[in-house]
Each structure stands twice: as structure tokens, then as C-alpha cells.
Amino acid sequence: MQHTITALVENKPGVLARVAGLFARRGFNIESLAVSITEDPSVSRMTIVVGGDDAVLEQITKQLNKLIDVIKVVDYKGIPIVERELALIKVNADAGVRSEIMQIVDIFRAKIIDVSEKTFTVEVTGSVDKINAIEKLLESYGIKEVVRTGRIAMMRGAKTP
Amino acid sequence: MKITGAQALVESLRREGVEVIFGFPGGVMLPIYDCLYDCKDIRHILVRHEQGAAHAADGYARATGRVGVCFATSGPGATNLVTGIATAYMDSIPIVAITGQVRTTALGKDSFQEADITGITMPITKHNFLVKNSKDVPEVVAEAFHIARTGRPGPVLIDMPMDVSLGVIDYKPVTNVDIPSYKPNTVGHPLQIKKAAKLIASAERPVIYAGGGVISSGASPELLELSERTNILVTTTLLGKGAFPETHPNSLGMLGMHGTAYANYAVAHCDLLIAIGARFDDRVTGKLDAFAQKAKVIHIDIDPAEIGKTVHVDVPIVGDCKLVLQDLLKYVEPRQPTSWNEQVMKWKAEYPLHYGENGLLPQYVIEKIWEVTNGEAVVATGVGQHQMWAAQFYKCKYPRQFLSSGGLGTMGFGFPAGIGAKVGRPNDIVFVIDGDGSFQMTLQELIVAVENKIAVKVAILNNQYLGMVRQWQELFWNRRYAGVDIAAQPDFVKLAEAYGAVGMRIEKKEQVVDALKKSLEYDDVPVIMDFHIEREENVFPMIPAGQSIEEMMVRRPK
Ligand SMILES: Cc1ncc(C[n+]2csc(CCOP(=O)(O)OP(=O)(O)O)c2C)c(N)n1
């Protein structure tokens, strides 16, 4: 089971190491992790996608909360959220397949942001499923490199954690 | 006022009420040591190994309830603290460890005596700080003490680069600590507390299982009141020893692997287990799915992460044990002893702790230590068989009377912890009940006790084995005693004398009481008593690791 949780943390050196270390030593599995500052520059937000059942998740949230630099942890389970991920995909694009690829890119409302003689670099944002789907379609042309940001999430509506 | 970071550090410690520091210097600590030279309010005790400093600070904290403080230099000094910090962490003991560090400009460059001690201690501290700026010193110290002693207590480390110590700041004392991301919840939820009271009223076979949290929160009077009002019997963990007087008729002593048979029977058969400041450690529960199977569980703990970590809890109450018990007592009705009490008392009479008659036995020595000290001594232990015998036979009357490394099980803890305890409580008798193996791990601190006239009494229960490991080999590894024979050992009497301490060797039962009484006559020098006990005596009862009460051995299997 995958869960998305978000942790607001003090924007201080070492905080990422504390969080990563906690996951490693307690045997929790990070599927993806995205970190950035928030509207308040003294606070960073970590969006963490983790695997595990409810009991594991409960331990993760409680243990995270115990870290002194962690201000707040919210488990998004059961809360309506929008989730996005961004991926850059460098795909082989010989002359013969360029238009095919451009069609795929169109359908996924992605963008070609860099072109070379032999490759396209495609930028796509969306849900994890969407990114997986386009990645799968592009695979047949030969993917040279994929970079994904990891998931970020936000509650729907006016509410904030 | 313009002062250096080092002066700000020492001044901040003084303001925290620190009266003693256990430490060992080095190059990058010189600015700080130089301030100690002038500081009249803080006593510095120079240990002979930094592990000793950490354990002494820990023993001081356990015995007094105040925050213990230790100093070490960068690199090897800091890494030598690690075992002591981990010991304190596992047992939730408040200490503040201050380490020197290379200059901030040299950080991360593999400089001479650089060790990433904040990185190393991240998993074994409640929190740690690398101070990058001299002006942060007062705030960091205030936060460190606040974090160490509040909530679930624990060790905090402050790493002080040399240039941070030297830098000049405009010093203003910190009077108020506010860490927005750290607000421990101390008051239990009223609804949960009422629920707990209801469960207690309806339980037929309740048992209280009390741990170190009762001691750290000072909840012993409330626990006593709860047990006396309801006649609910009380068992404690190793760290909970003294949370409830073991001389009280409602006491069942310690539970778990080497707990009393009757405590373990009571827990196995109870229908309500009231866990207070305890964490269901595997040395307590054994096989989890067989532990307290018939019981509903009330769990009171300051640390939310402990609740539901290993066992299912019916009524969780997050809060300070003392405050929660005070609230709970508002709802709990008096209750007469029941047939359940009778049943447990029958077990108590049927399966008492017992030991043999012949030879010099460790249990006898401990009983005599109890008698000559009237059960009033502070007892620190090493780790091994002697620790378990001490737990079984030294019946504690008070909290902060029994100092032992429970969570980490650190051999070598006892002697330096005993020194720390005696420094914090100079008017109490401090006995270290040690193993010959454990004592040899930190005996270099003997000169510290002699030099500073710290009159601890060390009773070495000398079986010339790493006894607890030998016991496991005897019981589970076909008596193949690999790597446990430590008959090659110093003459502890001569050793004591070489250091300027008093040494005694005791080889016969008849000599025990006289030797112990004699030891009490020395109040300005440590006494080392080398008790040559039966080599292959075992600790019973024993529930083998990971097993259930069905597998309990009450004596040596034939
Ligand atoms: C630092 C450390 N190393 C190893 C162990 C494993 N260990 C647990 S008990 C024990 C034997 C202790 O021997 P001793 O101190 O002589 O006490 P005894 O069991 O004989 O009473 C050992 C080696 C430990 N707990 N701590």
C-alpha cells in the first residue's frame, strides 16, 4: 500500500538527514521524496510517499513527529488531494518517428522542451499513472534517460494542513 | 556584555543549575576548559575515559533526576562518548553531552580529529546541535536542556567548533525557551482517562505493569495511591524498580525474562493490564502473541510512538504519568482484594525466588547487602547475571535507587554510573553490584573515585566467567563455553590497593557480612570487594528469549 504524507519541517541543515535516517533505521520504505521551501522560508515541506500497512504508517507519522525539527505531519489518507509529479524523458527520436512521438506528447498534454538530431526531451506533469503511461508508450522508441521529481500533493479546496 | 562563545557556554550551564561536569579535554576544548578554570560554581571531574564521563553523567541523572553533563573533545573523544549516549538514549535518561569540534572552516575536510559526531549520534540522541555561530550558544544550551528533560527525556549533544568557542558575542541570557515544533503533550485526554477508570472498575483480574516512565515523571506517590486504593498488584520492569516499593505487600517484583514467576503468571492470566511508563520491551513480553493474551490493555505513556508499537492497546493515554495518574485517581473507586489477589498471593508463596545453601552464592551476597544497608542504598549494576540477581534480590523501596542499563545492556555501566550517583547524592550509600567482566570494562575510573574521595562500594560478583553468556551456552548451546572464561584476571585486591582504594577478597559465606559492614566504615575512599562466588550459578526463573511463559524454567533443567 502506498501512502502520501506531508511533513512541515524547520528549514535547517541536517533535517533531511534526520528524516532519511529515521526511515532507514526503522526499516520504513521511501518510495519517493520531494523537498522544497514553502511560503514561509523558515519552513520546508517534505512530501513523502511510503509503502506499508496502517500500523506501519502510524509508526512513521509518530516517529516523524518525534523529531524536534518536524513541525507537523499529515497523512493524506482519506483526504481529497491533488497530486502531481513532473518527469523529464529523453527519448530517441530519429527522423522517421518524430511525428509519432509528437502525437503522443500532444495526447498527454506534455511538451517537447529540447531537441537534438537524435533525441527529444519531453516534459510531462501529472499523476503518477499518467507519467507511467507516457513512459511506457515512449519506451518502444528507446528511452535514454528519465528524471522524475517525486510526488507533490496538496489538499483540495481552501484547507491547508 | 561581550564574552566568548566558550564563556557563554559555561555561563549558560551555570544558569541551568549545573553543579558538576564529567569530562576529558583536548585541543578544541581548550577555550571551554579555560573558562572552567575560573568557574567556581561548577565542579569538573576529570574521568579517565570519555565513556566513563557519559555513564557518570547518566548515573548522576538517574540518581538525582537532574540533567547530567559530560564533556569530550572532538574526534576520538566524541566517539568514546557514543556507548554512553546510546545507553542513556535507550533508557530515556536526560544528559547533555558537549563535544569540541574542529573549526567551522575545517569541517568536512577530514581535518585532524574531525568526526561527524552529530551524524554519528543522530540515531542515539533525542536531538543534537552543531553550533555554527557563537551568538547561537546561549539559545542552543537552553534548548538542549529543555529538550533533554521534558517530554520523554533523553540525551542531547551539542557540538562546539573551536572558532564558535572563541568568537565574541554580545551575551544575553536566555530566559524562555520556545520551540514551536516541540510541544510534548503532558495532560492525558479526559475521555480516555474516564474510559480507563471504567475498565479498572469492571476488571476482575487487573495488574499494573510500571516502567521507568513512572520514575522519570515522579509518579510513584500516585502509583502507590492507585494500588493501595484499588488493591491492584504491581509488577515493574528493570527500569521501573523502585517506582513502587518492592517491600510492599502489593508488589510482585520484576516481570519478564528473569522476572519472578508470580509476576509473569499474573500478567499471563490478567484480564486488564495497566501499563504505566513502560514500553513492552521484548525482554518483558517474550513471545508477543502469547503475552497477556487475555488482557485488555491500558497504556499510559508520554511518547505517542510507544503506544501500539508492539502490542494492541485498548485505551491509549498519551501524557505525563504523574499528571495522568492524578486525573485517573479522581475517578477510581476503592476496591477490596479479590479472589484474584488471593490467587496471585498463592503463586507468590508457591514460587518464591530461591537459591541454594552451599558455597558462596551471589544471591546471598545481595541479600546481605540489602540487610546491611537496610535496603536504603543506591545500587548501580553492570550487565549480566549479577545485574539480574541484583534486580531480583535487592528490593528497592524508592525511585532512583536502582541504576542499570536496561535497553542497551551496556557492560561497564555500573561503576562510572555509581560514581556519578555518589557525586549527586553524597549522603547516600552507593553500592555497585558488578560482574568481573563488566567491572573490567570501565575500571580505569577507579583513580577518579580515589582522587575525588568518591566512596562507592563495589561488590564484584566474581564467577570468572562472562556469566550470562556462559549460562546461555549451558542451556542452549550444549555447554560449549567458547569465549567466556575470564579466569585470567587481575588480583582485584592488589589492583584496588595500587589505585589507593580499599580491596577485600571474600571467599566464604561466613565472611560476607563482616566484609560488607567493614566496607560501610569507609566514607572517603572507594572499596572494592571481590566476592569469589560459585562459578556456574545460574539466574532463574528464566523465560528463554522470544518464548512464552510456558517455557519458563524455574530451576536448572536436569
Ligand atoms: C559492552 C557489552 N559487550 C558484550 C555484552 C554481552 N554480554 C551480556 S552479559 C555478558 C557477560 C557479563 O559478564 P560479567 O560482567 O562478568 O557478569 P556475569 O554475567 O558473570 O554476572 C556479556 C558478555 C554486553 N552486554 N555489553
Cα B47 from Cα A57, distance rounded (Å): 44
Q: Is B85 left (phi over 0), alpha (psi -120 to 50) or beta?
A: alpha
Q: Residue A81 pLDDT > 90, yes or no?
A: yes
Amino acid, res. B248: H
Query: What does the pLDDT average to over B458-468?
Result: 98
Q: Residue B410 pLDDT > 90, yes or no?
A: yes
Q: Residue B487 pLDDT > 90, yes or no?
A: yes
Asked whether the beta carbons of residue A55 and residue B308 sit closer than 8 angstroms, the reply is yes
Asked whether the beta carbons of residue A66 and residue B303 sit closer than 8 angstroms, the reply is yes
Per-residue b or e along B354-369, where b marks 16 or more CB atoms closer than 10 Å to that residue's CB: ebeeeebbbbbbbbbb
Cα B35 from Cα B400, distance rounded (Å): 32
Cα B532 from Cα B435, distance rounded (Å): 11
* B404 close to B413: Cβ distance less than 8 angstroms: yes
Task: Give the pLDDT of residue A17.
Answer: 94
Quote the Cα angle for B288-B239-B349, to 5°: 75
Name the nearest CA neighbour of A124 among A160, A155, A143, A47: A143
Quote the Cα angle for B444-B242-B123, to 5°: 55
| Residue B536 CB–ligand 1 contact under 6 Å | no
Query: What does the pLDDT average to over B129-147?
Result: 98
Q: Residue B139 pLDDT > 80, yes or no?
A: yes
Q: Residue B558 pLDDT > 80, yes or no?
A: no
Task: Give the pLDDT of residue A109.
Answer: 96
Which of A18, A56, A62, A72 best tests the B interface by mutation, with the highest count of B CBs <10 A?
A62
Distance (angstroms) between ligand 1 centre and the Cα of B415 equals 14
Percent share of chain B, pLDDT over 90: 99
What SS3 class is residue A144? strand
| Residue B437 CB–ligand 1 contact under 6 Å | yes
Cα A150 from Cα B552, distance rounded (Å): 51
Q: Residue B205 pLDDT > 80, yes or no?
A: yes
Which residue out of B91, B366, B383 has the highest number of ligand 1 atoms within 8 Å of its CB and is therefore the one to mutate? B383
Residues of A in contact with B116 (CB under 8 A): none
Cα A19 from Cα A68, distance rounded (Å): 11
Name the nearest CA neighbour of B55 among B413, B304, B433: B413
Mean residue pLDDT of chain B comes to: 97
Mean residue pLDDT of chain A comes to: 94
Distance (angstroms) between ligand 1 centre and the Cα of B551 equals 24
Task: Give the pLDDT of residue A160.
Answer: 84
Nearest to A70 among B118, B181, B304 (CB): B181
Which of B90, B104, B181, B280 best tests the A interface by mutation, with the highest count of A CBs <10 A?
B181
Task: Give the pLDDT of residue A9.
Answer: 96
Query: What does the pLDDT average to over B226-242?
Result: 98
Amino acid, res. B155: P
All cell numbers assigned to A161: 494542513
Distance (angstroms) between ligand 1 centre and the Cα of B472 equals 11
Amino acid, res. B514: D
Q: Residue B26 pLDDT > 80, yes or no?
A: yes
Task: Give the pLDDT of residue B311.
Answer: 95
Percent share of chain B, pLDDT over 70: 100
Asked whether the beta carbons of residue B181 and residue A13 sit closer than 8 angstroms, the reply is no
> How many residue contacts between A and B have a Cβ separation below 8 Å?
35
All cell numbers assigned to B460: 564484584
Query: What does the pLDDT average to over B471-490?
Result: 98
Task: Give the pLDDT of residue A74.
Answer: 94
- Quick one: how far is CA B442 from the chain centroid? 16
Residues of A in contact with B130 (CB under 8 A): 13-14
* B83 close to B91: Cβ distance less than 8 angstroms: no
| Residue B383 CB–ligand 1 contact under 6 Å | yes
- Quick one: how far is CA A106 from the chain centroid? 22
Task: Give the pLDDT of residue A2.
Answer: 86
| Residue B461 CB–ligand 1 contact under 6 Å | yes
Cα B119 from Cα B121, distance rounded (Å): 6
The residues facing B378 across adjacent strands are: B430
Residues of B in contact with A67 (CB under 8 A): 127
Q: Residue B555 pLDDT > 90, yes or no?
A: no
Q: Residue B1 pLDDT > 90, yes or no?
A: no
pLDDT band, very low/low/confident/very high, at A159 (cuts 50, 70, 90): confident
Query: What does the pLDDT average to over A10-33?
Result: 92
Task: Give the pLDDT of residue B546.
Answer: 93
Q: Quick check: ipTM above 0.95?
A: no
All cell numbers assigned to B21: 561536569
| Residue B462 CB–ligand 1 contact under 6 Å | no
Cα B397 from Cα B376, distance rounded (Å): 7
pLDDT tens-place string over residues B53-97: 999 999 999 999 999 999 999 999 999 999 999 999 999 999 999
* B414 close to B433: Cβ distance less than 8 angstroms: yes
Task: Give the pLDDT of residue A58.
Answer: 92
Residues of B in contact with A62 (CB under 8 A): 304-305
User: Cβ neighbours of residue B79 under 8 Å, at least 6 residues apart?
Assistant: B115, B117, B120
Containing H/E element for A125? strand A119-126
Cα A33 from Cα A49, distance rounded (Å): 6
DSSP string for B261-315? HHHHHHHHH-SEEEEES----HHHHSSGGGTTTT-EEEEEES-GGGTTSSS--SE
Chain B: give the shortest CA distance to residue A29, in Å. Answer: 17
Strand A111-115, strand A119-126: pairing: antiparallel
pTM of the model: 0.96
